[in-house]
Amino acid sequence: MSTKANPYENFLNVLDSAAEQDGISLNEYATFRFPERELTVNFPVHMDNGEIKMFTGYRIQHSSARGPCKGGIRFHPDVDMNEVRALSAWMTFKCAIANIPYGGAKGGITCDPSQLSRQELERMTRRYTSMISPIIGPHKDIPAPDVNTNAEIMGWLMDTYSMIEGYPVPGVVTGKSLDIGGSLGRPEATGRGVMLVASSLSQKLGLDIKDCTFAVQGFGNVGSTAALLISQLGAKVVAVSDHTAAFYCADGLNIAEMLDYCAGNNRVLSGYKADGVTEIDKNELLYTDVDFLIPAALENQITEENVSKIKAKYIIEGANGPTSYEADKILFESGKIVIPDILANSGGVIVSYFEWVQNLQSLQWSLDEVNNRLSDLLLKSFNEVFELSQERNCSMRMAAYIIALRRLVRAKNTRGLYP
Ligand code: GLU
């Protein structure tokens, strides 16, 4: 099966080469080639028109070697078993790279949320939660937002789980709203992390970020926050796109204004107009002539077929899995630097970890405390990965997987094999 059709194959290719490069035998890491537990649920939902519609959802726990499983829930028409498998495995490696005490998991429902009313979305979320409730919990597996899910949906999940248990359990989910135990800084955390690693990379390379240009694919939570924070550093974000449209301005787009526009336009960019801004083909955004490209949409955007068209020298993966295994090798050979997803977008799960710690201790940290701790943890792992990639003359993705795999293997060996 091609990696395009199966992102889990993409993960295995990277994992196997990292193990080979670091001399880790199959015996030592074979467990991490398989998800620990996979749950598929099929369930009915009452639609507003009186019909009963069947939905299929998943929750896959890739590893609990380093702690409870952790990862988001995605609502999207393309959600399937292989996608959720890959996303769950990437969470294991993301948490290991950040060195936070979690394994990895992911969930999703195959659906098009734009076709559901708010009430249908709520009923679907609650029924899905009840179906996966036997395997989630604050010490088992902690969901969070991902593509097309948000704080409100996490609130329904928290409420449903708490009703089943019979008492409030805020620590069962992260990315909740502040009123029910969410953390300050969580909504912006992934985009903030993308900004932090972009700015650290520019420092390492002796570049002044104010002289750098950026293109951002995706204007959801991650892409729009990263674009805003990067433009606030004084860099020029010259191009952004979402699934409806793409815009370019050589002097830098006004990201704050675009965010306001989206808020009043059903959360999409289409129809945006401003002086000096031109609409470009949304499929061409990846090929914009910029210093930094941030793919912050979905998987498999940069592949063997289109990699030669990428002009950016530095690629910061805001999305999970945007680059195929083959394309990644070509990017490395052509001297481009890729900050891999499991590092570049780890800000989200790092602040999820802070939210969970606050829930378990019934505390609330200040925004400064959250942001300072985020930057400490993220920049520590960024430096470790950057240094190993220099030492080994390998891509930052390889270095990230090697560091994560070493941590995973050590945890597995220390725990030993049951029974
Ligand atoms: N869905 C996000 C990710 O892919 C966040 C996961 C979490 O906070 O648990 O990293």
**What's the whole-number average pLDDT of the chain?**
97
Query: How remote is the CA of residue 232 from the centroid of ligand 1, in Å?
Result: 24
pLDDT at 1: 36
Q: How far is CA 103 from CA 66, 67, 140, in A?
A: 5, 5, 10
Ligand 1 pocket at CB < 6 A: 70-72, 94, 144, 146, 174, 320, 345, 348-349, 352
Pick from 219, 217, 319: nearest CA to 259: 219
Residue 2: band (very low, low, confident or very high) from pLDDT cuts 50, 70, 90 = very low
pLDDT at 197: 98
Catalytic residues: 106
Pick from 71, 121, 123: nearest CA to 92: 71
Q: Across residues 300-324, what is the average pLDDT?
A: 97
Neighbours of 211 (CB within 10 A): 11
- Rounded-to-integer distance, Cα 246 and Cα 242, Å: 6
> Rounded to 5 degrees, what are φ and ψ at 291?
-75, -45
Residue 5: band (very low, low, confident or very high) from pLDDT cuts 50, 70, 90 = low
Contact 105, 88 (CB under 8 A): yes
Query: How remote is the CA of residue 377 from the centroid of ligand 1, in Å?
Result: 16
State yes or no: pLDDT of 3 exceeds 90: no
Query: How remote is the CA of residue 145 from the centroid of ligand 1, in Å?
Result: 6
- Rounded-to-integer distance, Cα 370 and Cα 348, Å: 12
Query: How remote is the CA of residue 320 from the centroid of ligand 1, in Å?
Result: 10
- The pTM of the full predicted model, rounded to 2 decimals, is 0.97
Pure H helices in 133-207: 151-165, 189-204
pLDDT of 225-236, one tens digit each?
999 999 999 999
pLDDT of 46-90, one tens digit each?
999 999 999 999 999 999 999 999 999 999 999 999 999 999 999
pLDDT of 147-179, one tens digit each?
999 999 999 999 999 999 999 999 999 999 999
Which ligand 1 atom sits nearest the alpha carbon of residue 349?
8
Strand partners, 1: none
Pick from 225, 191, 131: nearest CA to 347: 191
The full set of domains in the chain, from first to last, is 35-172 (3.40.50.10860), 189-339 (3.40.50.720)
Question: Ligand 1 pocket test: which of 100, 172, 190 has the largest number of ligand atoms within 8 Å of its C-beta?
Answer: 190
State yes or no: pLDDT of 4 exceeds 80: no
